[in-house]
Amino acid sequence: MRTNQKQAIINRALFTQRSFDSSRISVLSTLIHRFEEAGDYEVFISRTNRTPARFVVTVVEGDAPYQHNLDLSTLENPKERDCCREDADLRLHTGGVLGFYNSQGVSTFQVRIVRLGSKEKQVLFNHAEQIPAGDFFTVTPLRPGIYRVSDTLNKAEMALKVMMPPSPEQGKAEKATKVKGERPPSTYRPDQPLLVSVGKKGFDRREASLFSGQTLVFQVQSAARLRVELEKEDEAVTSPPKKRPDKPARTKKQS
Amino acid sequence: MPFTDRSDLFGAVHEDGINRLVRHIMRQRPSLFNYATPFFHNNAELFCVKFEVDDKVLKAKNPLFTEQEPLPILGAPVPIGLNFCLQLTDAQLDFHPGNVFGLPPELGRLADQRFALRLKGCMGIDCPPKELIDELLPLIERYLVAQQQLAIGETKERVPGISTHYTPPSSAFDNRERERPRTVALPTRSLICFCLELYAVGHFEWGTVPGSQQIWLKTRLDGLEIVDIEPKDMESAIECYLTTVLKLGILPRLIIPLEKMVLDISKEFQEMGLTLGRTVTLQPSAVPADVPNNPAVEEDQIKAFLKLTVTGGA
Amino acid sequence: MADLTVAVSESAFQRLFVVLRDSIRWEAQDMTNFGPFTAGYHVKGHLEGGSVDFRADNSVLIDELDVRWDKFEFTLGLDIPEICVGGGCINMPWPIPDICLPRWCVFSANPDISISPDLAAFVAQELSVAGRPVVRYYDASIPPPVIDPCGFLRDILVDNSIIDPFPDHNQWHIHLNPDFIDLDLFDFADIVGNLIENALTAAVTALLPGGWVRDLILAIIGGIADFIRWLLDIPDEIDEWLSDLFNISFGLGDLLIQLIGEFFGACVPLIRVDDPLEVLGKEISTSVLLSGSPVELVAVTVPVRSLSVYVDNVEMVVQADIGG
């Protein structure tokens, strides 16, 4: 019997990410900024030791999409960009959002948005300092364990428990009800985010639980600076005890 | 009783089929059965027996007969001859029991495993009319005298020669070794025709040939009879001559070795693109081990019995 | 009594059948794209066993011929779709549209896997054919029908030098008209389903790094077995799916039956006899004319009439008459 497979590179950065900081966009985190007013805005994306990428966003009342998600890892390569051709603005509807994320690699990014049109450029938003009210910050932790979530601006904390999803054998009890051709129903779906509010009074709860791969969304109600750090890894999962090799019997030294 | 109760493969031809086949061959290959001088190309109506010819023979402009030199007029000083034709008009086979034709009493009844052959041959020879002979005779005499070719020897008188279309050119005599002068046939107006019937009886047998390791199928002549020749002694002499010619001259050439009767079936399949992986042959069943006679001449048929042998392979 | 009679005994036919059977081997391969997956086969086979029986009802039965596969390689190629975390949307109060979240995918490109298990040891079929000899007269002067289903098959067989083309003169044709052709459908046992599932599982597992990452990915895709079934859109039993693939989608069984049926039936005669039959070939003779000039003598042919064939318990007999 022969098996062969196409070389597909695994996205290792996903599995090594242990902490998230709302001032830096890394893999598994997203910054979502809302544009409340119509106008032209210049967006600067900076990356350590690299020239920032820039593009213009035009926010209008009329016919324009409500959301764009931008993969920051593609911005430097014009061919890979999913947005922002040199000659075209990004158009967004008033009240729409831009989502900034990084699909791969270990780089981190920062976003700065300046409003165009006034006599002097107004820095509307400097991601490195804080996330303004009305925006969102998301994390999708994979490593199971207990995470400490903190808002350094509002001096608030909460706990996040990330668990391994149930194994497929545990879902087999539902096999009987499966219809041919349908994806087998499972108790686990990565695309079911959990929404948590954070404001002057802190987080709306003391703790939250997620399955690995699901997303925690922070809805920022007043400016915040968020950090999520893995405090206690579930080593039973990530580092199962290794079986000790049998040691040969020692001969006693004659003194 | 099944055809193959004593063999793997059985083949038979009925005498009616053979005789129909012979008639077809006679119509489509007339030159095998008719022999005549070239004169008959433009005078086919003078043949002793009218014969049918297939349309395709006429379309292909095949000759209707095999050309022969005219019958030489022996002793004539110039090569002159007579037109003639020889035709085999009937050829029939009869397998035991005989019921296609009756045998002359001299040959008796057709015995077991015997076949009979009946041939009718007609010959027509030109008979020059008296007028032609009278016309030619003085020319012949003059030629003989001029050439001093009389039986009595030379004469004192020298008579000048003449040339006719019967006279070969003198150069032909110098080059006698290279080319014989063609015989010129005398003009023909009618033929004298006569026909004879010949009957023969024969059988097949397997036998050996000194020096050979295998067995051979041989055709043997049991008897031969020409009907109605007088005097009887002449009939007997001719019959004896023909019998001797057949027994010592023609039939020995027709013996067939067993190896020629073995059909290599695996080779046939190979030519069709299928390799059998084993050797498969068809060969005659053995006499008398497998069958009493092979071929068998009985029930108005000639029958062949074959066995299939598979050798080699896994 | 017929002018010509040829008979073959059942026993001779049986011996020849064994030799023919042992010499028949075939090989076939094909690959089809079904969209989410590609599937193909590479098969080699031969025949074993079986018996030939001449029957009193004028039929020949070839019974219980085993179709054995020397190679029955089944190739299945799957394109593994994206395996991603994250995603989903944040429900926003009306009239604000929902905000949809990005996903992070485990592989940089969609990997694909391919397996090629050899199922020869698990596949076996039996073939039985019964047919009657039938004589038909081929008249070369009549044009072929407008719709000629046989013509297409014959053209293929002629193009591949399997049979000679039909000639421009008349012939008698002897066909073996099948009464029935019974070929077992492909019926794969449970063990085959397990074999394939194990092979696919191994192939998918080989893609994944070890440890908790694998467990996570397996959880995302819902378990390999179900994942595979979902990809292939098949019910629980892989072996049933495989049988349908070979019997219906590939139509391998139908192809064999069709080939056998049409080969022996109306389209391709087993034996052909020219009419008229040539008994003496064309000949160039230099002895017909005194001058010795060569003459091409026409071939001698005889008309064949009333060709018939029948089978009884012990032999097959072909008879014919020579026309006048």
Query: Same structural domain for residues A232 and A135?
Result: yes
Burial (CB count within 10 angstroms: exposed 0-12, middle 13-18, buried 19+), residue C220: buried
Whether residue C206 lies within 8 A of chain A, CB to CB, comes out as yes
CA distance C260 to chain A (A): 32
Query: Same structural domain for residues B80 and B136?
Result: yes
Asked whether residue B1 is domain-assigned, the answer is no
pLDDT for A129? 84
* Domain range list for chain C: 4-322
Range of the domain at B288: 261-311
pLDDT tens track for A95-132 = 999 999 999 888 889 998 888 876 666 777 777 788 99
pLDDT tens track for B139-159 = 888 888 888 878 888 878 777
Q: Which residues of chain C make contact with A196, given a CB cutoff of 8 A?
A: none
Asked whether residue B280 is domain-assigned, the answer is yes
Asked whether residue A178 is domain-assigned, the answer is no
pLDDT tens track for A151-160 = 999 999 999 9
Query: Same structural domain for residues B295 and B177?
Result: no
The shortest CB-CB distance from B62 to any of C3, C279, C298 is to C298
Across the interface, do B17 and C4 touch by the CB < 8 Å criterion?
yes
Query: Same structural domain for residues A209 and A148?
Result: yes
* Phi and psi at residue B256, to the nearest 5°: -125, 130
Asked whether residue A183 is domain-assigned, the answer is no
Domain count, chain B: 2
Distance CA C11, CA B8 (A): 7
Query: Same structural domain for residues A79 and A138?
Result: no
Across the interface, do C5 and B21 touch by the CB < 8 Å criterion?
no
Query: Same structural domain for residues A215 and A158?
Result: yes
CA-based nearest residue in chain C for residue B20:
C324
Domain count, chain A: 2
Asked whether residue B4 is domain-assigned, the answer is no
Whether residue C82 lies within 8 A of chain A, CB to CB, comes out as no
Distance CA B237, CA B259 (A): 38
Q: Answer with the residue of higher pLDDT: C165 or B299.
A: B299
pLDDT for A230? 94
Asked whether residue A4 is domain-assigned, the answer is no
From the list C132, C240, C147, C229, the residue with the least C-alpha distance to C179 is: C132
pLDDT for B297? 93
Asked whether residue A249 is domain-assigned, the answer is no
Query: Same structural domain for residues B133 and B252?
Result: yes
Q: Show the tokens assigned to C204.
A: 């998918």
Question: What's the distance, Cα to Cα, between the start and end of chain A in Å?
Answer: 61
Asked whether residue A245 is domain-assigned, the answer is no
Sequence-ordered strand ranges (E) for C21-83:
25-33, 37-55, 59-79
Query: Same structural domain for residues B22 and B58?
Result: yes
Predicted ipTM?
A: 0.82
Look up residue C267 and give its DSSP letter: S
Write out the residues of chain C at the interface with chain B, using a CB-CB cutoff of 8 A: 1-9, 11-12, 15-16, 18-20, 22-24, 161-162, 279-280, 285, 287-290, 295-302, 312, 314-315, 317, 321-324
Query: Same structural domain for residues B142 and B43?
Result: yes
**Which H or E element spans position B157?**
none
Distance CA A66, CA A62 (A): 11
Q: Which alpha helices (H) appear in chain B, and where do they start and end?
A: 15-28, 55-59, 130-146, 170-174, 232-244, 265-271
* Phi and psi at residue C100, to the nearest 5°: -100, 140
Asked whether residue A19 is domain-assigned, the answer is no
For chain B, give the percent of residues with pLDDT over 70.
90
Query: Same structural domain for residues B167 and B79?
Result: yes
Find chains touching chain C: ≥3 CB pairs under 8 Å: A, B
Find chains touching chain B: ≥3 CB pairs under 8 Å: C
Query: Same structural domain for residues B163 and B209?
Result: yes
For residues C156-163, give the mean pLDDT: 59
Across the interface, do C302 and B10 touch by the CB < 8 Å criterion?
no
Give me the sign of the Cα torsion angle A167, A168, A174, A176.
negative
Range of the domain at A212: 131-166+190-237
Query: Same structural domain for residues A113 and A145?
Result: no
Asked whether residue A22 is domain-assigned, the answer is no
Query: Same structural domain for residues B159 and B180?
Result: yes
Query: Same structural domain for residues A59 and A98?
Result: yes
Asked whether residue B2 is domain-assigned, the answer is no
Task: Give me the residues of C, 262-281, that contact A with CB < 8 A.
Answer: none
B302 neighbors B296 (Cβ within 8 angstroms): yes
Whether residue B9 lies within 8 A of chain C, CB to CB, comes out as yes
Give the residue from B245, B260, B275 where a domain finishes: B260
Query: Same structural domain for residues A59 and A137?
Result: no
Across the interface, do A99 and C116 touch by the CB < 8 Å criterion?
no
Query: Same structural domain for residues B175 and B72?
Result: yes
pLDDT for C145? 66
Asked whether residue B238 is domain-assigned, the answer is yes
Across the interface, do A9 and C107 touch by the CB < 8 Å criterion?
yes
pLDDT tens track for C65-98 = 888 889 988 888 888 777 889 999 998 888 788 9
The shortest CB-CB distance from C233 to any of A2, A172, A181 is to A181
Query: Same structural domain for residues A102 and A152?
Result: no
